[in-house]
Structure 1
Amino acid sequence: MTFEALRRRHLQMDETQDASRRADLKAGAIMMASNIRANSGKRVGTVPGVEIGDIFYFRMELCVIGLHAPSMGGIDYMTTKFGKDEDSVAICIVSAGGYENEDDDTDVLVYSGQGGNNRNTEERHDQKLERGNLALERSLHRKNEIRVVRGFKDPFCLTGKIYIYDGLYKIHESWKERTKYGVNCFKYKLLREPGQRDGAALWKMTQRWIDNPATRGRVLLADLSSKAEILPVCLVNEVDHEKGPVHFTYTNQVKYLRPLSSMKKLQGCGCQSVCLPGDASCACGQHNGGDLPFSSSGLLSCRKPIVYECGESCNCSTNCRNRVTQKGSRLHFEVFRTTNRGWGLRCWEPIRAGSFICEVSTYVSPDEFEPLPVKISAKNMGNVSRFMNHSCSPNVFWQPVQYDHGDDGHPHIMFFALKHIPPMTELTYDYGVAGAESSGSGSRRTKNCVCGSQNCRGLF
């Protein structure tokens, strides 16, 4: 979380200075130099704090959490003791498409050794049994567990990759094979250790659902939103015999009795085509403290008291990077039955930290029309956000956003990803601290918390 927040902030600053060094490398270097990292020592087996299915968008992220030390190489290895003997064995590999690896089977991985695969034809050569290749060969004989990280194409970025930690494997076989380039390559067949939760298998399953939603089983309702959302919202129960949530009116808009025309207007920008980072004449940039709040890929750079998007009064086009939440959500949501908290919300796609998830849609009556702090309520009307449960360790946060009026006391409430969220992970946010005073009405009603987090407060 620290790495990604630092990377996005540096990316925001670098865009105004036309910096050449990549923001992910800069963030990683700062964290390494400041010793802000986890699990600095190498180890065989699992890494504390890293769960199977966790996703990463940069190789440097794997380094700072101690999952895979090399920022470029695909094989991480170390010298460790086996009884009275010492041996150099592999501890983690990244299968990301750089070599001819076979990874269609989610429980089997045929991994190619390193070296000799240079793009320059004259520099290609047979692989040598040294360094990482030798460590893999020794792991075959030592039968030690090896962490496997698999790389997949980022569905939201044509050139990007997503790295998924897929758990522990062991090498069962090795051989030499001549590649299509005519050089000899080492091959290692790894089998996934049984009894582990799904990692890459879950990823591939959700990708099939995205390609063809009809392949998703145990569906109660194909679209809970009745086409109100851009993409259908699936309703699923794999726990008990409940047929669905209590009746409510689905809406993806905030509806006020007080018309927007009676509210203060938001000053627009005069930018031609799109707003640009570092443009001192951009009124929307000035509203946001001098920086555009979103990256070129639509990620929120950092939390703010209020984010100001471009609106109808702006001269820029609809393709402006400062128009994100107003375009609505483009995720495949699934409302599902939890084991102990009623209905919950999750998503088929991976969600990157800083990504817009959805808006809080509800009906606001005159007596509820109070300025911040915000009370979120969607008892009778709402959208997918009404199914988002509480957690004391949430993966989502709410952010006030303005774009269609200038009354800062009554903003839109948007949900963003607090950290990278793997597919089929329940989306949760923090409802608030038990006993905290609300504006002018004493203390809120408390409930026992069953979020299961290590940081659970017991009440919310």
Structure 2
Amino acid sequence: MDGVSGPATQSEPIFDKSRVLDVKPLRTMIPMFPNPPQAPPFVCSSPFGPFPSGFTPFYPFSMGPPGEGRHQDGAAYATPAAAVPLRSFGTPQMGAHFSNGDTDSSRDIHFGDGGFHTVSGRKKRGAYKIPKDAAEKRAERKARKEAAGTEIRKPNLANVVGLPQEQREDGNREIVCFVLMKFDAVRRRLSQLEDSKEASTGLIKRADLKSGNIMMTSGFRTNSRKRIGVVPGVEIGDIFYFRMEMCVLGLHAPSMAGIDYMTVKNDMEDDPLAVSIVSSGGYDDDADDADVLVYTGQGGGNYSNKGKEASDQKLERGNLALERSARRGNQIRVIRGIRDTTNPSLKIYVYDGLYTIQDSWIDRAKSGASLFKYRMVRLPGQFPAFGTWQSVLKWKESVSSRPGLILPDLTSGAESLPVALVNDIDDVRGPPYFTYLRSVKYSKSLNLSEPTYGCNCHSSCAAGDLNCSCIRKNSGDFPYTANGVLVSRKPMVYECGPSCPCFTNCKNRVSQSGLKVRLEVFKTKDRGWGLRSWDPIRSGTFICEFAGEVLDKAKYDRDESSDCSDYVFDTSRAFDNSFRWNYDPPLVGEDAVGDLSEDFDITPLVINAKDSGNVARFMNHSCSPNVLWQPTVYEQDGESLIHIAFFAMRHIAPMTELTYDYGISQSENRRKRCLCGSPKCKGFFG
């Protein structure tokens, strides 16, 4: 494409294409500074402002050769710029930004829309003088912290060993899942501290940004080499709840800007090429088509938020990179931002695969400002990530439109949300009959927990309130974040129950609140019936409990001929706890006390869901599961009864099968051949 073009009407001016593209080479747009021996090298990076107050921007990834990529099916291909040498830029150091601005760094470069500038009032050498009002606010925060008698400490990274350098530069699926799990574990703990009453000093803001900073500094990152095309280990359809998650994986480096690009050399000049874009609704993108995206350039007066002065977009930075990519025809990763239907205040980012730019033109915003438009077309043969979301939205509007639907609600109204029964594989009309239970059913002789007393709170239990007996049972921590996400796995989580006088909407009743996501029981190809969700599920979110009849453990062990083993949950089996779901204390400034293993000593409990149970009885085994189980207990009718609650181990995209580790029984007669297909498959389970 030699220029930008588009439809023109009588009311619109005709744009001169040659004038639009008459720009200076990129290398003349970036000032170059000498690096004297006594000074550190100047760090140059793309300006991605504006930034939130109190957060210093950083640019996680140095640029390296793109190398060879791979299609979704595993076939190798050479990226269009594979043989072009790249210009690499350094990465600013982030270790001084843990204490919300309490840094004495003598050199910071701040970036904005107009380029870069040194901090106002700071000399070339020496400390930055804090303005009086900012210093006063900092003193107030410090006084509040001291008055609260607590301090959120800086990370202790002295003994933290991150990923090896080769895994930081190039990942795989296992490494990507590990990094995401590590990121969210730290974020959940920081959120828990932020929620607690003792930490209500304003010291922690945006736990996701702080978690990303910690991850980058401690070396828990991967795919740091910027590249065109596929990112190793990241699959089409993967979802993210925070932009920083994409940063630590190398999917999209800027923490705020919508266009990520790299600079390549050719015979005449340095060219910027776009490597990824995020379409999240901040601009007037046409994003309803699953295979075509009309993307709007960055900058100018097209911001969706009010108060921005209208101005024309400029053919520079990300816009220039997109225009050069249109000429080169290189592949661009596309991430779509979608509103979370279960929580409209949140936005979920969906990796939708590789696109190329087919056309570009200049359009007019409602303000009259000129906008760059790019028509991006999805490469064929890729998994329909965004298309799956669109299908689910249609099914929610009319469940009868779901192909293969047998029953609109398997639970017959027992659950607060309907659970569809679907078979689009064969002619089987449903699983064998069973009685639907919402929770476990104990006989009076099988109360496995010691009697305890509920709390005496008369409103909702508050995080950090040590006067609450239920909080004290949980080692003084509220086990969930403010939005109901489990923070850490424990031998037991103590919840408030019906015997507690606190409000029924108390946030310490998470596992008793019923289904929160739309589930579907479906027929698999070779493993019977399975369970999946129409909604995205965030890591740590409660899914359901395992309902059924509690059996006498000794009697069950003796009767190996029982035909109920396919529907039994047994806590005494051997489980793989090597995945380390919990956070590492040093990463959040805490001392590592004792063994960090999550192989807990759990009270023996056997639940049979063959004749009576809930949707959990359809969840299949996997040696690489995406769901974990957590024992919980709460007071009811003067008794404390143990329940098994299931939580998402990581973010789970819609229509992804939900699986957990069944464990290995001590009795070889009860073991079954495993068909999970995982690279880590042990060959058998149960």
- TM-score interval (norm. to shorter): over 0.9
User: Following superposition of structure 1 onto structure 2, how do residues 202-351 of structure 1 map, counting pairs within 5 Å?
Assistant: 202-258=388-444, 264-351=450-537
SS of the counterpart of 2:287? Answer: coil
- Checking the alignment, whether the CA contact within 8 Å between 2:454 and 2:635 is kept in structure 1 is no
- 1:23/1:262 CA distance change after superposition, 3 Å: closer
Structure 1 stretch displaced more, 412-421 or 235-244: 235-244
- Range with greater deviation from structure 2 (114-123 or 180-189): 114-123
Query: How far apart in 2 are the matches of 1:83 and 1:328?
Result: 63
CA deviations on 1:5-49 (whole Å, 9 max, x unpaired) are: 110111101222123421101100000101101111111111111
1:176 paired with 2:362, answer yes
Tell me the distance in 2 between the aligned counterparts of 1:42 and 1:7: 25
Question: Which residue number corresponds to residue 682 of structure 2?
Answer: 457
**Letter of the 2:617 counterpart:** R
Q: Does 1:196 align with 2:382?
A: yes
The SS at the match of 2:543 is strand
Q: How far apart are 1:81 and its partner, in Å?
A: 6.3
C-alpha distance in structure 2 between counterparts of 1:122 and 1:315, whole Å: 50
- Tell me the equivalent position of 2:241: 57
Does the CA contact (< 8 Å) of 2:403 and 2:424 recur in 1?
no
Tell me the CA shift for residue 282 of structure 1.
1.1
Q: Give how far 1:80 is off.
A: 3.8
The counterpart of 1:426, out of the listed 657, 662, 665, is 657
Q: CA deviation at 1:83?
A: 10
Query: Residues of 1 paired with 2:309 and 2:409: CA distance?
Result: 55
Q: Which moved more, 1:101-110 or 1:202-211?
A: 202-211
Q: Which residue of 2 aligns with 1:104?
A: 288
Change (3 A) 1:272 1:249: closer
Distance apart, 1:164 and its partner CA:
0.4
Paired residue for 2:614?
A: 383
- How far apart are the structure 2 equivalents of 1:259 and 1:282? 30
Partner in structure 1 of residue 250 of structure 2: 66
Per-residue CA distance 1:49-93 (angstroms, 9 max, x = gap):
111111110111110111000000000011246799863210100
Q: Distance in 1 between matches of 2:675 and 2:521?
A: 19
* In structure 2, C-alpha distance between the alignment counterparts of 1:83 and 1:309, rounded to whole Å: 67
Q: Is the 8 A contact 1:392 1:456 kept in 2?
A: yes
> 1:205 deviation in Å?
1.2
Equivalent pairs counted in the alignment come to: 453
CA displacement at 1:146 relative to structure 2: 0.5
Q: Which range moved further: 83-92 or 139-148? A: 83-92
Identify which of 230, 254, 270 aligns with 1:46.
Answer: 230
Map of 1:399 onto structure 2: 630
Q: Distance in 2 between matches of 1:105 and 1:166?
A: 12
- CA shift in 2, pair 1:188/1:289, >3 Å: same
Deviation of 1:159 (Å): 1.8
Letter of the structure 2 residue corresponding to residue 105 of structure 1: D
Do the aligned partners of 1:266 and 1:313 also contact (CA within 8 Å) in 2? no
> 1:450: Cα distance to partner?
1.2
Paired letter, 1:296: A
The CA deviation at 1:313 is: 2.6
- 1:238-291 deviation line (CA, Å, top 9, x unaligned): 112222112222222211221799975431112231111111211111011101
Equivalent residues of 2:538, 2:652 under 8 A apart: yes
Deviates most, 269-278 or 413-422: 269-278
Match of 2:297 among 113, 123, 146: 113
Residue identity opposite 1:56 in structure 2? F
SS in 2 for 1:133: helix
Query: In 2, distance between residues paired with 1:114 and 1:47?
Result: 24
Are the structure 2 counterparts of residues 215 and 122 from structure 1 closer, same or farther at C-alpha, using a change threshold of 3 Å? closer
Shift of 1:302: 1.1
SS across alignment from 2:311: coil
Q: Offset at 1:214?
A: 2.2
Q: Which one-letter code corresponds to 1:2 in the other structure?
A: K
**Could you say what secondary structure the match of 1:159 adopts?**
strand
Amino acid at match of 1:142: R
1:33 aligned to 2:264? Answer: no
Pair 1:416 & 2:647 matched: yes
Deviations 1:384-416 (A, max 9, x none): 1011000011000111011135877x5101111
- CA distance change for structure 1 residues 177 and 388 in 2, over 3 Å: closer, same or farther? same
CA separation of 1:100 and 1:259: change in aligned 2, threshold 3 A: farther
1:284 match: secondary structure: helix
Instruction: Say which is worse superposed, 125-134 or 237-246, in terms of deviation.
Output: 237-246
Choose 1 or 2 for highest CA Rg. Answer: 2
Residue 550 of structure 2 contacts residue 607 of structure 2 at CA under 8 Å; is this kept in 1? no
CA, structure 1 residues 85+386, in 2 after alignment: closer, same or farther (shift >3 Å)? farther
Q: Output the CA distance in 2 between the equivalents of 1:258 and 1:169.
A: 61
**Secondary structure at the counterpart of residue 185 of structure 1:** strand
The corresponding residue for 1:7 is 187
Letter of the 1:59 counterpart: R
Matches within 5 A, 1:87-166: 87-117=271-301, 123-166=309-352
Percent identity of equivalent pairs: 54
Mark the CA change 1:202 to 1:120 in structure 2 (over 3 Å): closer, same or farther. closer
- Asked whether the 8 Å contact 1:254–1:362 carries over to 2, the reply is yes
Secondary structure at the counterpart of residue 8 of structure 1: helix
> Aligned with 1:411: secondary structure?
strand
Q: Give the structure-1-normalised TM-score.
A: 0.93
Code of the aligned partner of 1:390? H
Tell me which residue corresponds to 1:374. Answer: 605
CA-atom RMSD in angstroms: 2.3
SS of the residue corresponding to residue 300 of structure 1 reads: coil
Deviations 1:193-241 (A, max 9, x none): 1111111110121122123222212111222222222222211111122
Cα distance change of structure 1 residues 286 and 177 upon mapping to structure 2, 3 Å threshold? same
Conservation of the 8 A alpha-carbon contact between 2:500 and 2:635: no
Gaps of 5+ in 1: none
- The alpha-carbon deviation at position 445 of structure 1 amounts to 2.2
